[in-house]
Amino acid sequence: MDNPLLDFSGLPRFDAIRPEHVGPAIDALLAEAEAAVASAETVAPVSWPTFVTPLEDATERLWRAWGQVGHLQAVVNTPELREAYNANLPRVTRFGSALGQNLALFAQYKALAASAGFAGDDAVRRKVVENALRDFCLGGAELEDTAKARFSAVQEELAALSAKFSQNVLDATDAFALYVEDEARLAGLPPEVVATARAAAQKEGKPGWKLTLQMPCYLPVQAYADDRGLREALYRASGVRASDAGPAELDNSGLIDRVLELRAELAALLGFASYAEYSLATKMAQSPDEVLAFLRDLAGRALPFARRDRAELEAFARDQLGLDTLQPWDLGYAGEKLRQARYSYSEQEVKRYFTERGVLAGLFAVIESLYGVHVREDSAPTWHPDVRFYRVEDASGQLLGQFYLDLYAREGKRGGAWMDDGRNRRVGSQSMQTPLVYLVCNFGKGVDGKPATFTHNEVTTLFHEMGHGLHQLLTAIGELPVAGINGVEWDAVELPSQFMENFCWEWERVQAMTAHVDSGEPLPRALFEKMLAARNFQSGMLTVRQLEFALFDMELHSRFDPAQDSVLQLLERVRDEVAVNRAPAWHRFPHQFSHVFAGGYAAGYYSYKWAEVLSADAYAAFEEAPDAIAATGARFLAEVLSRGGSRSALENFTAFRGRAPSIDALLRHSGMSGDAGAAAQA
């Protein structure tokens, strides 16, 4: 087939997709989808095979192809691909808006719900229809024509602003480089970071070393560079990315204001008091007040521990490092020095044991032991030579799903780590479509012929994203709208991912996945015990940092009045309430807050802590039955992972746990279940 974006016969042809394919493919797929919509509007009688199936057939092809374009834009961004993406984004957004507002389709779904056979249909299909009816209301289907047109225009502009925000952050990150010619300034940095920086400079024909804001460089500089000025230089550069402190064309200031204005307008058009209320209409939490109360209750529990952490760090930095004033660019460095002093080990010492091959083998062994499935290497066209491809099979060898693994940071690739679906599970009368998943991280590659090594934090990140992937790959639901993570309340979607992180702290699992990069020896038990003792090191500070982001997000989308306030002023008030480590006044965190301004977490960042309650409590079931791991894993698979969005997240959790969730396990796992003073003496 000439255009790979129109080929749905097998796996995506990522090696063949070019920017010039995007426009013609979207032309063809939009025409097909629009024709399917027109037919579905009048089909009679309304039934699943006459109405839902043909409508999903056409729209799924459009979303799958567009998903491939969006994915490539995130992992191998080029000017040509970005231009093609931006040119077609309004058209695709417009179609999605029109679909959500189509009164004829809304009426057809109502007719399907009222049909004689619907009450006797299976619960999964009933949930699909119930969600569809809800989403038509939230999509503006019941608005008057003028308001409906405005609603669509707002959605279209928001999609464009979101893409521009993300692109500005990417470009601002890639644009920075600090060239160092005096090797003494690199003292303290891990050898692989120095080698990578040297190779980057040589690639550009420059002397010395090239330091960047990519995480495999930025984080080690903050944690290990003895040169305080070097730490400060990168911290400052990172803190003002995509802001008024840089090039005007990359400044996200105006985008932030406009996004907030449009979101408020969108909510008002539907009769919601705020965008937060609109956002929560599809989540577990019932109101912004409930979320804010949850966050502030957790803050009240965490702040004593956070203040203790800060006081200990200040005293150590003053007495042992000669730092009378603890600056933001000292936090990572002083924290790592304190960890080494208190627990007699460094993250870099641990990192030498977590080699790529061992970590992946250990991850796949955990999956097999929990769920009785097997992960095997597979082959597929990819978008970059570093990308690997795998298949997941059940005990009988039947294919359950496949996934791509893109582990390493590079220019043109969005920062962070994420999971996205390339294709969801779907069961038809004559066929079954298996899930296809993208797992993306931004770790450092191996250098000088050695394999990549990961910090323990990076290992937990990989396990986290694999948890998301398993939610997609192990679904047993055959209806697209509620298979995998589709239809799952956003504040519960982190449950499977955070749950997987716990297995990075079990001795037998860790021992099995480690092999020293030089000797091949597994991690010594004594070193693991030090890691375990330090597991909750500075957990109070880490908790309130996440609460700062979550409170800022929820306040921003529920109570913020731009006529009375600025975004930065609101953030400072939130920091007055919960922060123990204050960012400088010139720092521009909101300008890089892609989760909220370019992702799906607007009025939803609290989900990380909300779901952490669920995930900690779910893992506690395994702690309570250490001799029944396979049985407990089978129950978690049956009641949570495989169910997808076919029933509420609370029903899933209660079916697995036998009761409502409790915060006790989260506090215990975080080392915040007792008194901060007593904990300091322990």
Tokens of 42: 């009048």
Which residue blocks in 559-627 are alpha helix, DSSP H? 567-578, 594-597, 607-624
Please pick, among 156, 336, 458, 465, the residue that the annotation labels catalytic.
465
pLDDT at 447: 87
**CB-based contact 520:358 (threshold 8 Å):** no
**39-88 per-position pLDDT tens digit:** 999 999 999 999 999 999 999 999 999 999 999 999 999 999 999 999 99
**Looking at residue 355, what DSSP letter applies?**
B
pLDDT score of 121: 80
- Burial class, 174, CB count within 10 angstroms (exposed 0-12 / middle 13-18 / buried 19+): middle
Return the pLDDT at 676.
60
Q: What is the distance between the alpha carbons of residues 478 and 489, in angstroms, rounded to a whole number?
A: 18
pLDDT at residue 3, as a whole number? 97
Q: Domains along the chain?
A: 4-100+102-138 (1.20.1050.40), 176-240 (no CATH), 250-345+539-605 (1.10.1370.10), 356-524 (1.10.1370.40)
Pairing state between β 388-393 and 374-377: antiparallel
Q: Report the C-alpha gap between 567 and 589 in whole angstroms.
A: 10
Q: How far apart are alpha carbons 493 and 481 in whole angstroms? A: 15
pLDDT value for 679? 42
Residue 623 among the catalytic residues? no
> Which among 440, 445, 484 has a CA at the least distance from the CA of 464?
440
Residues 220-243 as b/e (b if ≥16 CB within 10 A, e otherwise) read bbbbbbebeebbbbbbebbbbbbb
Tokens standing for residue 226? 């003895």
- What is the tens place of the pLDDT at every residue in 532-552? 999 999 999 999 999 999 999
pLDDT of residue 489: 96
For residue 1, the model assigns a pLDDT of 61
pTM of the model: 0.94
Q: Give the CA diameter of the chain.
A: 80
DSSP state of 204: T
Mean pLDDT by 10 residues, the chain (682 residues): 92 98 98 97 94 94 98 97 98 97 97 88 93 97 97 97 98 97 97 95 97 97 98 98 97 98 98 98 96 97 97 98 97 97 95 97 98 98 98 97 97 96 92 96 93 97 98 97 96 96 97 96 97 95 98 98 96 98 97 96 96 96 96 98 96 97 92 62 32
Distance separating alpha carbons of residues 425 and 14, to the nearest angstrom: 20
State the pLDDT at residue 681.
34
Query: What pLDDT, on the 0 to 100 scale, is given for residue 119?
Result: 80
Among 357, 671, 633, smallest CA distance to 496 is for 633
